[in-house]
Chain A
Amino acid sequence: MLCQFAGEVIARGLGLPLPGPVIGLLILLAILVVRHGPDEDLRTTSTGLLRHLSLLFVPAGVGIVTQLDALERDWLPILVAILVSTALGLVVTGWLMQKLDRSG
C-alpha cells in the first residue's frame, strides 16, 4: 500500500504530463514484474479497493448539480452525442480487437 502511494507521489513530483495515478500504475506494474507478483497484503488491499471502485466516482458525479444550467440549455445535443459516440466507441474497439486478435 505504501509503495502505491510512493509511486503516486514520485510521479506527481516529477511534473510529467500524465496524471499521477496512471504513472503510479506503471510504477507498481514494474515493481510487480521485478518482484514476481504481489504479496498477500497488496493483493488483499487492491482487491478490496477495486471491489468498491464505483463508489469512488460518486462525489465527482454529484458535481452535476453545479452544471445544471449548461445541461439544461444543451441537453439534447449532449444526450445524443454521448449515447451515439459511446455506442460507436464500444463497438469499434470491441469488434476490431476481436477481429485482429489471434492470440486466443
Chain B
Amino acid sequence: MTGVSQLWVYLQTTPLLGLAATLIAWEVAVFASRVARGHVLANPMLISIVLLSSLLLLTHTPYRAYFEGGQYVQFLLGPATVALAVPMYFNLGRIRRAAPAILPALVAGSLVAALSAMLIARGLGASRTVVLSLAPKSVTTPIAMGIAEQIGGSPSLAAVFVLLTGLTAVVIGPGILRFTRVRDWRARGLAAGTAGHGLATARILLLDETAGAFGGLAIGLNGIFTAILVPFLATLF
C-alpha cells in the first residue's frame, strides 16, 4: 500500500499525470457519449470535466498539480483558434456577401448577452465580483480572462462562466434556434460563435462546415467588440 501511495506522490509532481488523466477522461467521455447516441447532456467535454473535477476533489489533488499536465492540452487552444482561419477562408465569399447582416446581428447579440447577464445577476443579489466577471462570459477564454482582470472581476471566475456559457449554448442552442425558426446555417453558426464562443462553434462545426466558419468569424469579432464594450458597461455597475 505504501508503494502505491509513494507512486501517487511521485506522479503528482510530474506533468504526465494531468496529461494522461485528461486524455483518458476524454476517451471515456467520447465512449460514453457514443453509447448515449450523442445526447446533448452526454457532451464529451462536460463528462470529462465532471470526471476530472471529481477525481481532484476525491484525491485532494490541488488544481495546480493537475494543470502542470493540463496546460499542454490547453496550449493547443491557441493554434486551434488560428486554424479556424482555414474553414473561414473557404467561406470568405459567403462571409463577404453576408457582412451587412453579420455586423448588426453580432453587435446586438453581444450587447444583449453581456448586459442581460449583468442585470440579472445584480438583480438577484450576486456579489459585484460575480457581476463583473459575468460581463465577458460570451467570448473566448483568453480574451474573457483579460477583460475580467481589467474591469476588476476575477479571471478564474470568468473562465468558469465562459465554460458554463459555452455548455449552456451547446445544450440549449439547437432547441432554441429550431424553436425560433432560425434555420439558416450561417445564422446558426454566427449565433453559436457570438453567444457560445469556441465551445458552441466546435460543436456546430461537426454538423456543418459553413456554420463553423461563421462561428469562427463571430468568435473573433465578438472578442474585439466585447473588449471595447465591456469596460464601458462596467462603469455602469
Is B132 interfacial (CB 8 A cutoff)?
A: no
Are B86 and A46 closer than 8 Å at their CB atoms?
A: yes
For A101, what are the chain B residues with a Cβ–Cβ distance below 8 Å?
98, 101-102, 184, 186-187
For B205, what are the chain A residues with a Cβ–Cβ distance below 8 Å?
50, 53
Are B89 and A63 closer than 8 Å at their CB atoms?
A: no
What's the nearest-Cβ distance from chain A to residue B2, in Å?
27
Q: Please classify how large the interface on chain A is, using the bins under 10, 10 to 19, 20 to 34, 35 or more.
A: 35 or more
The residue that B105 contacts in the complex, of A65, A74, A85, A100, with Cβ under 8 A, is A100
For A71, what are the chain B residues with a Cβ–Cβ distance below 8 Å?
160
Chain B count of residues within 8 A CB distance of the other chain: 117
The residue that A57 contacts in the complex, of B113, B129, B157, B163, with Cβ under 8 A, is B163
Are B124 and A97 closer than 8 Å at their CB atoms?
A: no
Q: Which of A1-20 contact B (CB under 8 A)?
A: 1, 4-5, 7-8, 17-20
Centre residue among B52, B86, B113 by max chain A CB count within 10 A: B86
What's the nearest-Cβ distance from chain B to residue A90, in Å?
4
Q: A66-B156, A70-B154 are in contact. Are A96 and B105 (CB under 8 A)?
A: yes
Are A56 and B76 closer than 8 Å at their CB atoms?
A: yes
- Counting from the closest, the 10 A-B pairs by CB-CB distance are A93-B109, A59-B70, A89-B113, A89-B195, A94-B191, A77-B124, A21-B81, A103-B97, A53-B202, A85-B117
**Interchain Cβ contacts under 8 Å between A and B, 30 examples:** A21-B81, A21-B142, A29-B85, A32-B89, A33-B92, A37-B90, A46-B86, A53-B80, A54-B202, A55-B73, A56-B76, A57-B45, A57-B163, A57-B198, A58-B22, A58-B45, A61-B48, A85-B114, A85-B116, A89-B194, A90-B176, A90-B191, A92-B105, A93-B194, A95-B187, A96-B104, A97-B105, A97-B190, A100-B100, A100-B104
Could you list 9 further interchain pairs (A-B, Cβ under 8 angstroms) beyond the known A50-B212, A59-B71?
Answer: A26-B220, A27-B82, A53-B198, A62-B63, A67-B154, A85-B116, A86-B169, A101-B101, A103-B94
